[in-house]
Chain A
Amino acid sequence: MGKSTTALSAFVAALVLIPAAGWAQNDGGEQGDDGERAIEFHAVLKNLYLYRNDSDFDRSAPVYNPDGQSMGVAGTDLRSFITWHVSNKLRIHYEVEIGLNVWSRNSPDEGDPTADDIFLLKHREIYTEGTLADDLVGFKVGYQRLNDPTVLFIGHWFGAADFSLNFQKGAVHAVAGAFPDTTYEGLTAQFNNFTHDTALFALYGNASLGRHLTLNAGLFTIQDESVIGRSMTLWTPALNLTAVMNPDPVSLSLSADLAMQFGPSRGRSYDGGDQMNHGWAGQIHGALTWKRFALDANVLALSADDPYDNDGSNGAFYYSGRTRSSTLFLTEDKVHDWYDNIDERLASPRGAFYLSRAGLLLADLKLSYLVTRWFRPTLIFGTARVLESKNALGEDYVGTEADVDLQFPVDPALTFHLIGGLLAPGGAAGALVNSIDTNRAENIWTAEAAMIVEF
């Protein structure tokens, strides 16, 4: 990185770290006449800075040199959550995300709402939620974030109707929803029909199995009709078992996720026959807190397909891209999703899902120590490999990352992060991700800073 770029980066990092005034004081809410909150307001504002070195793994086009350019961005993202309590049994919820607006690109001074540099605005959730019959029946209808028990399959925002029966020790939900797609139907309502949609149906529930154990399980079904003559039915039983124990001074939680997928993709085999899906995903997560120490460990596995793409069998898993992993490169950066996560880039997008024919086995450890009330350094180590090297040009090692996250929670609502990370990619990552030269696997390092206000 040249001197001028270093100076610019330092200057921008300094700007990012200036706390914004005012937000932290808002406790979000307006009192109604009966003393209950009529409107709840929450927000998460992030000022972010990211720098990544020039590497074959970034997405910059090779305009100025063969590998591309270094990546650097400073931006602001605001996610606001508003809940209107229409009554004590009925709520309207709206989540909107403004951003990520990049300082060098999106202009607050832009008057034309159709211009390229206008602010980004995303409506995430718009739903109504409530209960009926003395809280026996619940509903949540509209655009919402829905997860399956593992979050490995469904962890998306989409339109759905969720109805539940609520019991003392748990609940059972029935869901019907639709994934948006841009194929064939177009955007005008007159062409709209159910024939070429991707529908989701689910039956899931949770139950307390004792003082320490909770079971979340469900059956999620996708009926994908978006490609004419090549529909897919995907049955996915998923379960999560979570055990939480707090033998003082230790706090321990263990969770296990397992999801399996079955069902035909019709006419998608090379010989015109059906392709049977039979993928699986598993994850084990443990979190231990002892005094000032916190340790998180996670192992994620996504099944692989055989070396024959589009034959009668698909063993790969339709994956949401969401995990409990703490890694920043290998999976979604929990500070902010930069949409260049290696687990997603190893895979092929399939509508709302990622299909990694090479499979994935990822293990990571996160260790943090609360030095003072306002300083918690964290170390993250993660390593990954594929499960079928033949689907990664004969390579099996994806890479190893090591990160340092210096967190400064100076206020209950305000936290600063200073992060440095390094990914040493392996041959499998080169084969699957590097679209310039599959033989090259150069290290990526990153510097990230974030100022997060959350209330």
Chain B
Amino acid sequence: MRHSTTLLFAALATAVTAFSCGESGYKFDEWETHKLTRVNPQLTYLKDAHGRYLYMHGVNASGSTKVPYEVDPLTYIGRPFPLDDADRHLALIKAMGFNSIRLLFMWEAVEPHARGVYDTAFLDYFEAIISKANEHGLYVLINAHENLFSRFHNANYNEEPLFGTKGDIMGTFGALFPYPFKDRDFITDPRHKDRRQRDWWTDQVKGDGAPKWAVKACLPEKDLDAKSWGTFRPLGSLLTLLLNDPDSITGLLAKFGFDAGGGGSDDLIADIMSSLLTASDEGLLPRGPHDSTDFMPWTFWGINAALSADIERCYAAFFAGDKVYPRYTVKDNAGAPITNPVTGTPYNIKEYLQEAYTNAWVEVVKRAAKYPNIIGYDIMNEPTSVFIVLTAATAYFQGASTEAVTELLVGLAGEELGNQIAELLFGLYLLPDLPKLPDSENGPDYQKIKKERNETAADWGFPLEDTDNVGLAIPDLFALLDLNLGFAKKYLQPLYERVGAEVLKVDPQATIWIEEAFSPEMLLSTGLGGGVGGQFMEVMTVPAGIKNVVFSPHWYPDIYPFPGFNVAPREFTRDELRYRDYGPSLKAKYDLAAYSFSNVPTVYGEFGTYWNYGGIEKSVSEGYILSAEILDNFYEAFEGMFLSNMLWCYTADNDYRYGDLWNKEDFSVLDPFEVPRGREAYSRPHATFLPGKPVSTHFYSGLHYFDPDKGKVDPEREFYIEFESKETDAPAEIFVPELHYPDGFYVWLSDGFAIAEYKTAAYGKEGREGGLGYHTLYYFPSSDEPGRNHSVMIAPPLPGRVNEGWSHFFRKGEAVSGK
């Protein structure tokens, strides 16, 4: 017996060692599906190389990219963040729940000083950011960002007004006056690089995007380096008016509701005169249109798009320079025409600009094309195509009366808006008084008046005769009228086709992202049918010759400051915001993809909220609850439609006073101490990849309102996702933040199994450090038959809620299996 028993155990031992135990552990780094691959549109979806459907939950990096990192010497290296900090920020972005970044670059960053001369150091930096994003598992959408064409469209103002109270109408205009600013700390604050180092202004409203040489080409008669550039243009005229007629100030103040007969008016007038005289001595006051711009420091900066002829001239030159300025040839510093080497003829302004823009894009794409995490190229941010003021001003200079101009404005912008624009143009002296031409050409004054009108028109950039002095040419009024209708189809779509074609030569796998134009049609639009009953809508369609296209609209709710200068942030109550459904507004834009863009995928490229409602102190003390409610509304709407999205924005150097350092916009999800804020809204479970067609998803954050049911525990922090039959063996990937599940979470699966990877990332500085933990859940459905939907539900342990039939429980990287 002993012998046989020994033999038996020996045989067993041999069997034990003969069989392999298999490989233990997860080797995520070696796992093919763990690596990002190129994503391609397939009808209305984005799919990766493993055949999975992608849901983008991204963020824009960053708000402060709109301002240079340094102005002297000029560089954008460090935007969105210095390379040394990139790993830290990218890890944090991932831990906050974002799976992609819309990585901005300025045209000025690539080609800052001269056409065709590229900042290779910036391109090196930009490529390094893309590479690091890939290491951190983040997709990158590259966007050529711009607003109002360029930062060289700017206007200065003071946050503490010379007169009036901040917030009232007097204070609005009091902000426009320069005065010796005592708190020099703000001026010399090293973070605020893009403000001119003056002692007279504390802040500036500006655009971003194009380099100075491009602006100069569009506005050749302007002196962008003048000390007075950025000063509210009418101040120059105001000083002249007051010197000639000191009593006229009374009437002017009465216009703004100030009772000049009451006490204090003498001091006010003295302050105003002192400000103007001193500024004039300093050269800060505009002396005419050459050394000033019609750009104004509207707190809601976008108003300038509708009111600034300077901006509209730049866009007109860029998009339609060949039609609007058919005889305008670009000249070098010596005054000689710059010749197009391909055609041998002098560059028209449009070709000059668009070719440079396209080539700048090509330089960027050359750096990006090799990376698998490049999800696309967003050719131009929010192409603004409002030409109302430019059209009206051109008509005015070309002979239309003020009444006719007003009628034209009403025709283009509607009754109310048209009249308001006319009042601003003429009331604020944004257009000069032109002497009226006599009816008869033979009269003695006709030629004199005509000459005066021509000189004034040329001075203002609207020549009536072609002139070589500053390279201007007569604008074509009819071409301008045409620009206001069908812009997107006739001018924007060709730009996408042009840039897209060149991008594809460098990156044949490229996906081109297109945005709709901000045009008068949108102002008048009552839906997809467009204005005037829809009869004249000429919709942009998918750019020809480009196979992979994504439509990327933007939308913001009514969060912007009211019209005015130096206006305080909006105020809301929580209940006012809590029940708002943004779904219909988001869907209206989403429907464009089916209406005219051949049903390509739609990804909202921008949406977001301010973080300073009621003032930053109030907002901080309330835990940013209003902002979180707004974002939660957004995300629930997106999830209801399974709409991919990219939040505006993540700014590494956000500031309590200056926000994202551009126009006091404060949209960053990172506060000045690099602490994520309002996380409850955006740091939410979502599936980045699905192996089958998405069916539905939802997540109920702590901000969600439940209709209480008797005897039923509210499904707080419940996440659910369902998708159709699996089309690939690659797993679903679901982001699960520890924020909502500090005690762990249960997972219910329709079939198959799941594993999880747990990671953490650090945040914060200056005593506010902390860490964010998250799981990435990999779900492997097993059933393979057609028609079989798969689902995942995640819920936390909740008192009173029975959790039966769960498949897994995860907590801080530990796991137990259930059903």
A selection of 28 A-B contacts at a CB cut-off of 8 Å is: A61-B802, A61-B804, A209-B1, A209-B5, A213-B1, A215-B5, A237-B15, A260-B12, A270-B26, A273-B23, A276-B20, A308-B24, A308-B26, A310-B753, A311-B23, A312-B24, A315-B21, A349-B819, A355-B817, A357-B816, A357-B817, A392-B816, A394-B814, A435-B804, A436-B797, A436-B799, A436-B802, A438-B797
Question: Which residues from chain B contact A435 at a C-beta distance below 8 Å?
Answer: 746, 797, 802-804, 806, 809, 818
Instruction: Looking at the assembled complex, report how far the CB atom of A245 sits from the nearest CB atom of chain B, in whole angstroms.
Output: 15
Within 8 A of B (CB), among A218-242: 227-230, 237, 239, 241
Instruction: Looking at the assembled complex, report how far the CB atom of B814 sits from the nearest CB atom of chain A, in whole angstroms.
Output: 5
* B782 within 8 Å of A (CB atoms): yes
* B8 within 8 Å of A (CB atoms): yes
* A262 within 8 Å of B (CB atoms): yes
Question: Which of A62, A390, A439 touches B814 (beta carbons < 8 Å)?
Answer: A390
The complex places the Cα of A272 from the Cα of B21 at a distance, in Å, of 17
B784 adjacent to A309 (CB under 8 Å): no
Instruction: Looking at the assembled complex, report how far the CB atom of A141 sits from the nearest CB atom of chain B, in whole angstroms.
Output: 30
The complex places the Cα of A309 from the Cα of B810 at a distance, in Å, of 11
B22 adjacent to A275 (CB under 8 Å): yes
The complex places the Cα of A209 from the Cα of B731 at a distance, in Å, of 53
* B43 within 8 Å of A (CB atoms): no
Instruction: Looking at the assembled complex, report how far the CB atom of A293 sits from the nearest CB atom of chain B, in whole angstroms.
Output: 30
Instruction: Looking at the assembled complex, report how far the CB atom of B817 sits from the nearest CB atom of chain A, in whole angstroms.
Output: 4
* B226 within 8 Å of A (CB atoms): no
B22 adjacent to A62 (CB under 8 Å): no
B816 adjacent to A313 (CB under 8 Å): no
Given A241-B5, A270-B31, 7 other A-B contacts at CB below 8 A? Answer: A260-B16, A306-B24, A309-B753, A391-B815, A435-B746, A435-B797, A435-B803
A437 adjacent to B731 (CB under 8 Å): no
* B257 within 8 Å of A (CB atoms): no
Among B729, B783, B802, B811, the one with the most A-chain Cβ atoms within 10 Å of its Cβ is: B802
The complex places the Cα of A278 from the Cα of B731 at a distance, in Å, of 25
Write the residues of chain A forming the contact surface with B, with a CB cutoff of 8 angstroms.
59, 61-63, 66, 68, 184, 209-210, 213, 215, 217, 227-230, 237, 239, 241, 258, 260, 262, 268-276, 278, 306-315, 348-349, 355, 357-358, 390-394, 431-432, 435-439
**4 nearest A-B pairs in the assembled complex, by CB-CB distance:** A276-B22, A312-B23, A313-B22, A435-B803
Among A210, A262, A392, the one with the most B-chain Cβ atoms within 10 Å of its Cβ is: A262
Question: Which residues from chain B contact A436 at a C-beta distance below 8 Å?
Answer: 797, 799-803
Interface residues of B, count at CB 8 A: 49
Considering only CB atoms, which chain B residue lies closest to A315 in the complex?
A: B21
Question: Which of B25, B746, B782, B815 touches A230 (beta carbons < 8 Å)?
Answer: B782
Question: Which residues from chain A contact B780 at a C-beta distance below 8 Å?
Answer: 270, 310
If A309-B753, A437-B799 touch, does A270 touch B731 (CB 8 Å cutoff)?
yes
A209 adjacent to B25 (CB under 8 Å): no
Within 8 A of A (CB), among B743-796: 743-744, 746, 753, 755, 778, 780, 782-785
Among B15, B16, B24, B801, the one with the most A-chain Cβ atoms within 10 Å of its Cβ is: B24
Question: Which residues from chain B contact A278 at a C-beta distance below 8 Å?
Answer: 19, 21-22
B4 adjacent to A313 (CB under 8 Å): no
A309 adjacent to B755 (CB under 8 Å): yes
The complex places the Cα of A215 from the Cα of B32 at a distance, in Å, of 50
The complex places the Cα of A258 from the Cα of B801 at a distance, in Å, of 41
The complex places the Cα of A309 from the Cα of B747 at a distance, in Å, of 14
* B264 within 8 Å of A (CB atoms): no
Question: Which residues from chain A contact B744 at a C-beta distance below 8 Å?
Answer: 393, 438
Considering only CB atoms, which chain B residue lies closest to A345 in the complex?
A: B818
Considering only CB atoms, which chain A residue lies closest to B809 in the complex?
A: A438
The complex places the Cα of A349 from the Cα of B804 at a distance, in Å, of 13
Question: Which residues from chain A contact B778 at a C-beta distance below 8 Å?
Answer: 270
The complex places the Cα of A438 from the Cα of B797 at a distance, in Å, of 8
Instruction: Looking at the assembled complex, report how far the CB atom of A44 sits from the nearest CB atom of chain B, in whole angstroms.
Output: 32
Question: Which residues from chain A contact B21 at a C-beta distance below 8 Å?
Answer: 276, 278, 313, 315
* B711 within 8 Å of A (CB atoms): yes
Instruction: Looking at the assembled complex, report how far the CB atom of A87 sits from the nearest CB atom of chain B, in whole angstroms.
Output: 37
Within 8 A of A (CB), among B1-35: 1, 4-5, 8, 12, 15-16, 19-27, 31-32
A309 adjacent to B8 (CB under 8 Å): no
Instruction: Looking at the assembled complex, report how far the CB atom of A55 sits from the nearest CB atom of chain B, in whole angstroms.
Output: 14
Question: Which residues from chain A contact B784 at a C-beta distance below 8 Å?
Answer: 228-229
The complex places the Cα of A275 from the Cα of B12 at a distance, in Å, of 21
The complex places the Cα of A274 from the Cα of B809 at a distance, in Å, of 24
Instruction: Looking at the assembled complex, report how far the CB atom of B597 sits from the nearest CB atom of chain A, in whole angstroms.
Output: 37
Q: C-beta contact mask, B376-408 vs A, less than 8 Å → 1, else 0? A: 000000000000000000000000000000000
Instruction: Looking at the assembled complex, report how far the CB atom of B450 sits from the nearest CB atom of chain A, in whole angstroms.
Output: 82
If A262-B19, A276-B21, A348-B817 touch, does A62 touch B31 (CB 8 Å cutoff)?
no
Instruction: Looking at the assembled complex, report how far the CB atom of A335 sits from the nearest CB atom of chain B, in whole angstroms.
Output: 26
Question: Which residues from chain A contact B806 at a C-beta distance below 8 Å?
Answer: 435
A274 adjacent to B22 (CB under 8 Å): yes
Question: Which of B20, B26, B743 touches A438 (beta carbons < 8 Å)?
Answer: B743
The complex places the Cα of A37 from the Cα of B228 at a distance, in Å, of 121
Question: Which residues from chain B contact A260 at a C-beta distance below 8 Å?
Answer: 12, 15-16
Question: Which residues from chain B contact A217 at a C-beta distance below 8 Å?
Answer: 8
Instruction: Looking at the assembled complex, report how far the CB atom of B734 sits from the nearest CB atom of chain A, in whole angstroms.
Output: 14
Question: Which residues from chain B contact A275 at a C-beta distance below 8 Å?
Answer: 22
The complex places the Cα of A214 from the Cα of B785 at a distance, in Å, of 49
The complex places the Cα of A276 from the Cα of B784 at a distance, in Å, of 22
Among B22, B31, B784, the one with the most A-chain Cβ atoms within 10 Å of its Cβ is: B22
Considering only CB atoms, which chain B residue lies closest to A440 in the complex?
A: B797
A312 adjacent to B22 (CB under 8 Å): yes
Q: C-beta contact mask, B628-663 vs A, less than 8 Å → 1, else 0? A: 000000000000000000000000000000000000
Instruction: Looking at the assembled complex, report how far the CB atom of A63 sits from the nearest CB atom of chain B, in whole angstroms.
Output: 7
Instruction: Looking at the assembled complex, report how far the CB atom of B61 sits from the nearest CB atom of chain A, in whole angstroms.
Output: 31
Question: Which residues from chain A contact B19 at a C-beta distance below 8 Å?
Answer: 262, 276, 278
